[in-house]
C-alpha cells in the first residue's frame, strides 16, 4: 500500500479591502480647487459673503477657512477702496458684463499689502438667476515690483537721454522714420519733436548725399555689419550746415527681429575747424621755418657774392678810367651792365633773406600807390584791363616806399605774364583785423592789405607753395629770374607782415601783402623825428605827380589826393600834415573849402593854393577867399614854391 503524500501549506488568502469610494465629478473638482496653492479660489454669495476657501487663499491672505467664511470679501480691500465703494462696484461689473478683471493692492490678515491679479465671474443657474461669484486671485507682487523696477530703469534712461544736450540721440523705424527726439537733437538740428517725429531722417542730409542714396546705404550698412559710423555734412532747420559724427546701431528684439535703429549724432564743426586751423598753422610754421632756413643760406651766399662783385665793380671802374680801343670799351660796358644786373639780383636775394637795409618811414600806402600808378599801368599790356581801387581812410604803415614800389611792380609784371591773351589785373587796398594765426604766423591785430588779382592761368597748389622760393619760376628760360615773389615776400616779412598766395588753375591768382597798421601813438612818436610832410591835392594826374616830385625834391615826405574829399580824409587821419598844397578848382570840394576845413583842423598848417586864374579861384571860393591863403598862379616854378614856404 502506497504511503500518502505529506500535507502542503496552503497559499495565504489576501485580506479583503473595502471598495474605493466613487467620487462624483463635483467632489473631484472641490478636492482639486481646495488643493491649489498658487491661486486663491473661493466663492462669494450674491452679496459678496465668502462661503468657500482654498489652500491658495489661505497662503496669500493668511486667513483660515473658519476665520473668513461668512465675512464680506471687502475685508481684502484697503480702507480707501472700501470707502470708495470699490468692492461693490467690482461685483456690479461682474454681473453686468459677466466678468470683472483687474490688478490692484489687496490686504492680508496681518495688514500687509500684496499686488493681486483678480478675476470675478458671476455664477447663474439654469434659469439665469444669480447664485454668487467665483473669485480667483493671484499674488503677483514680485511681477509688479519687477515691472516697476523696469519702468523706473526705463524712465531713468529716458530722462538721461532726454537730458543730454551735446548729442542728438533718437530712434528710427526699420524704414528710417524718426520715432522720438531728445534735447540734444533739438539743440543741434533746430527742430522741435513734433516737427520731425514721423518724418524720414534723410531730411538732415545735404542734397548731394540724398541724391547718392547715402541715408539708406547707412541703414543697410548698420544692419549688415552691426554698426555704421561716419563723418559728414548735415543740414539744420535754418538751412545752415554743420559737420557731424554719426553712429547708427540696429536694434533687435529677443527673437532677433529688427525693430529699428538707434542714431547718435554729434556736432563736431568746432573740433574739425580747430583741427584744420592746427594743420594750417603747422603747415604755415613749417613753411616759415623752411623759408627761414633758405633765407639764412641765401643771405650768406648773397653777402659773399656781394663782396666778390664789389671787387669786379671797382676793378671795372678803374679800367674804364683809362683809354681803351672801341672794341674793349664795348666789352667793358657789357661787363658793367652785367655787374649792375648782378647787384640788383643780390639786393633781391638780401631782401628775401630779410637782410636788405630798409629806409622805413610812415607812409599812406594809398598815396604811394597813387603816385606810382602810371608806372604800374605802363607795366601792364594794352590788352589787359588795369584797375586800382583804394579804400579810404587807411591807417599808416611803416615801410620802405622804394622797396614797396619795386615789389608791387614785380607783382604786376607777374600778373601781366599770367594773362598773355588779355584779361584783368586789379590792385586793391583795405584795412583788416586778423585773429592770431589767421594769416600765416601773424599776430592778432590791425593790418593794411594790398591785393594784386589777375584773371590769368593760375597756379596749382604745389606750384603756389614753391612760388616764393628763390629762383623758382614757371616762366620759360630767360623770361624771369624767379626772384620777384621772393623779393615781395622778404619785404613783407622784414616789415613784420606777410604774403599770401590764393590761386587755382584756370581761376587766376591773388597775391595779398599784409603790413601792420600803425596806431595813432606810434604815428606821433615816429613823426616827431621825421621830415616834414606835404599833402599835394590836384584832380589832374600829371600836375599832381609833378607837384609831388617838386616837394620831394625839397625834402618833404609827400602824400597825394585826387580831390578835396580824399584830402580831407587824410587830414582827419593820424598822419601829421605840415603843408597843404592844393589846386583851387576841383570837383566835389574846391581848394578854398578844403583850406578852410584844414585850417580848422590845424591852425598852424602851412596852406598854399594854386590856380591858373585868380578870378576863377575867387569865383570858386566857399567860406573865405583865396587871398586868405598863400596863392600861386599856374604854371609855377620850384623857386615860387620855396618862396611861399619861407614866408609867413
DSSP code, position 517 = B
Q: Between vectors from CA 75 to CA 74 and to CA 77, what angle results, nearest 5°? A: 65
Write 641-647 long-range contacts (CB < 8 A, 24+): 641/550, 641/551, 641/554, 641/581, 641/608, 642/554, 644/608, 645/554, 645/579, 645/606, 645/608
Does residue 637 have a pLDDT over 70? yes
Give 69 or 484, the one with higher predicted confidence: 69
**φ/ψ (deg, to 5) at 503:** -150, 155
End-to-end Cα distance, the chain: 196
Q: What is the pTM of this model?
A: 0.38
Domains identified in the chain and CATH numbers = 25-140 (3.30.450.20), 164-267 (3.30.450.20), 273-352 (no CATH), 361-520 (3.30.565.10), 531-646 (3.40.50.2300)
Task: Identify any residues that bridge with 263 across adjacent strands, giving them in sequence order.
Answer: 170, 248
The pLDDT, as a whole number, for residue 483 is 56
Q: What's the residue count for the chain?
A: 648
Q: Is 413 exposed, middle or buried (0-12, 13-18, 19+ CB in 10 A)?
A: middle
d(CA 452, CA 384): 14
Judge contact between 415 and 372, C-beta under 8 A: no
Give residue 527's pLDDT.
47
- Identify the band that residue 516 occupies on the pLDDT scale cut at 50, 70 and 90: very high
Q: How far, rounded to the nearest angstrom, does the alpha carbon of residue 367 sit from its chain's CA centroid?
A: 38
70 and 22 in contact (C-beta within 8 Å)?
no
Number of DSSP helices (H) and strands (E) in the chain, helices first = 22, 20
Pick from 349, 330, 338, 608: nearest CA to 491:
349
Given a cut of 60, whether residue 526 has pLDDT beyond it is: no
- Residues whose CB is less than 8 angstroms from the CB of residue 69 and which lie 6 or more positions away in sequence, other chains included: 50, 51, 52, 53
What's the pLDDT tens digit per position in 459-515? 887 777 766 665 555 555 444 444 557 777 877 887 888 888 888 888 889 989 999
Distance CA 462, CA 152 (A): 61
- Burial per residue of 559-569, b for 16 or more beta-carbon CB atoms within 10 angstroms, e otherwise: bbbbbbebbbe
User: How confident is the prediction for the chain on average, in pLDDT?
Assistant: 79
pLDDT of amino acid 431: 93
Q: Can you give the pLDDT at residue 486?
A: 73
Longest dimension (CA), the chain: 199
- Per residue in 345-358, is it b (16+ CB within 10 Å) or e — as a string? bbbbbbbbbbbbeb
- Distance CA(568)–CA(595), nearest Å, equals 9
The rounded distance, in Å, linking the Cα atoms of 43 and 34 is: 12
Statement: residue 586 has pLDDT above 80: yes
Region of 3 please: left (phi>0), alpha (psi -120 to 50) or beta.
beta
Q: How many whole angstroms separate alpha carbon 271 and alpha carbon 107?
A: 61
Number of other CB atoms surrounding residue 419 within 10 Å: 21
Amino acid at each position: 500500500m502506497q504511503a500518502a503524500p505529506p500535507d502542503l501549506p496552503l497559499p495565504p488568502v489576501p485580506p479583503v479591502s473595502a471598495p474605493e469610494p466613487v467620487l462624483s465629478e463635483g467632489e473631484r473638482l472641490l478636492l482639486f480647487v481646495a488643493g491649489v496653492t498658487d491661486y486663491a479660489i473661493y466663492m462669494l454669495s450674491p452679496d459678496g459673503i465668502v462661503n468657500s476657501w482654498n489652500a491658495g487663499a489661505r497662503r496669500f491672505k493668511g486667513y483660515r477657512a473658519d476665520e473668513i467664511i461668512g465675512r464680506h470679501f471687502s475685508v481684502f480691500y484697503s480702507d480707501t477702496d472700501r470707502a470708495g465703494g470699490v468692492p461693490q462696484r467690482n461685483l456690479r461689473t461682474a454681473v453686468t458684463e459677466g466678468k470683472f478683471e483687474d490688478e490692484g493692492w489687496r490686504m492680508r490678515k496681518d495688514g500687509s499689502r500684496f499686488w493681486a491679479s483678480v478675476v470675478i465671474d458671476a455664477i447663474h443657474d439654469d434659469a439665469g438667476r444669480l447664485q454668487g461669484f467665483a473669485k480667483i486671485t493671484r499674488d503677483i507682487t514680485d511681477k509688479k515690483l519687477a515691472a516697476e523696477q523696469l519702468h523706473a530703469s526705463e524712465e531713468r534712461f529716458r530722462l538721461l537721454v532726454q537730458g543730454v544736450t551735446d548729442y542728438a540721440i533718437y530712434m528710427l523705424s526699420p524704414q528710417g522714420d524718426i520715432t522720438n527726439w531728445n534735447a540734444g537733437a533739438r539743440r543741434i538740428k533746430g527742430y522741435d519733436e513734433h516737427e520731425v517725429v514721423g518724418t524720414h531722417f534723410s531730411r538732415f542730409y545735404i542734397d548731394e548725399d540724398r541724391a547718392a542714396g547715402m541715408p539708406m546705404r547707412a541703414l543697410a550698412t548698420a544692419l549688415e555689419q552691426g554698426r555704421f559710423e561716419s563723418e559728414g555734412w548735415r543740414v539744420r532747420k535754418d538751412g545752415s550746415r554743420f559737420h557731424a559724427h554719426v553712429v547708427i546701431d540696429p536694434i533687435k528684439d529677443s527673437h532677433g527681429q529688427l525693430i529699428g535703429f538707434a542714431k547718435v549724432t554729434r556736432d563736431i564743426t568746432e573740433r574739425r575747424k580747430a583741427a584744420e586751423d592746427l594743420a594750417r598753422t603747422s603747415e604755415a610754421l613749417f613753411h616759415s621755418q623752411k623759408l627761414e632756413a633758405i633765407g639764412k643760406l641765401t643771405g650768406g651766399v648773397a653777402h659773399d657774392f656781394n663782396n666778390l662783385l664789389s671787387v669786379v665793380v671797382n676793378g671795372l671802374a678803374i679800367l674804364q678810367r683809362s683809354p681803351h680801343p672801341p672794341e674793349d670799351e664795348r666789352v667793358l660796358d657789357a661787363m658793367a651792365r652785367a655787374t649792375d644786373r648782378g647787384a640788383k639780383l643780390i639786393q633781391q636775394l638780401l631782401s628775401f633773406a630779410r637782410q636788405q637795409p630798409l629806409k622805413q618811414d610812415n607812409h599812406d600806402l594809398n598815396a604811394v600807390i597813387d603816385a606810382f600808378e602810371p608806372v604800374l599801368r605802363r607795366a601792364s599790356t594794352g590788352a589787359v584791363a588795369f584797375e586800382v581801387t583804394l579804400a579810404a581812410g587807411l591807417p599808416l604803415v611803416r615801410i620802405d616806399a622804394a622797396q614797396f614800389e619795386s615789389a608791387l611792380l614785380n607783382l604786376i609784371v607777374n600778373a601781366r605774364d599770367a594773362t598773355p591773351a588779355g584779361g584783368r589785373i586789379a590792385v586793391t587796398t583795405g584795412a583788416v583785423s586778423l585773429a592770431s594765426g589767421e594769416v600765416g604766423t601773424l599776430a592778432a591785430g590791425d593790418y593794411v592789405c594790398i591785393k594784386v588779382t589777375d584773371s590769368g592761368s593760375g597756379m596749382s597748389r604745389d606750384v603756389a607753395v614753391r612760388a616764393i622760393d628763390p629762383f623758382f619760376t614757371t616762366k620759360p628760360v630767360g623770361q624771369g629770374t624767379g626772384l620777384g615773389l621772393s623779393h615781395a615776400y622778404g619785404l613783407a616779412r622784414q616789415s613784420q607782415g606777410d604774403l599770401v598766395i590764393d590761386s587755382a588753375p584756370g581761376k587766376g591768382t591773388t597775391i595779398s601783402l599784409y603790413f601792420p597798421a600803425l596806431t595813432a601813438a606810434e604815428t606821433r612818436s615816429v613823426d616827431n623825428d621825421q621830415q616834414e610832410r606835404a599833402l599835394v591835392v590836384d584832380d589832374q594826374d600829371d600836375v599832381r605827380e609833378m607837384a609831388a616830385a617838386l616837394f620831394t625834391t625839397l625834402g618833404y615826405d609827400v602824400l597825394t589826393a585826387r580831390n578835396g574829399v580824399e584830402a580831407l580824409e587824410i587830414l582827419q587821419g593820424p598822419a601829421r600834415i605840415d603843408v597843404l598844397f592844393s589846386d583851387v578848382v576841383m570837383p566835389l570840394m574846391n581848394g578854398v573849402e578844403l583850406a578852410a576845413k584844414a585850417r580848422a583842423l590845424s591852425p598852424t598848417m602851412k596852406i598854399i593854393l594854386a590856380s591858373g586864374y585868380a578870378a576863377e579861384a575867387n569865383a570858386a571860393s566857399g567860406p573865405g577867399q583865396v587871398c586868405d591863403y598863400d596863392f600861386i598862379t599856374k604854371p609855377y616854378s620850384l623857386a615860387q614854391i620855396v618862396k611861399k614856404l619861407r614866408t609867413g
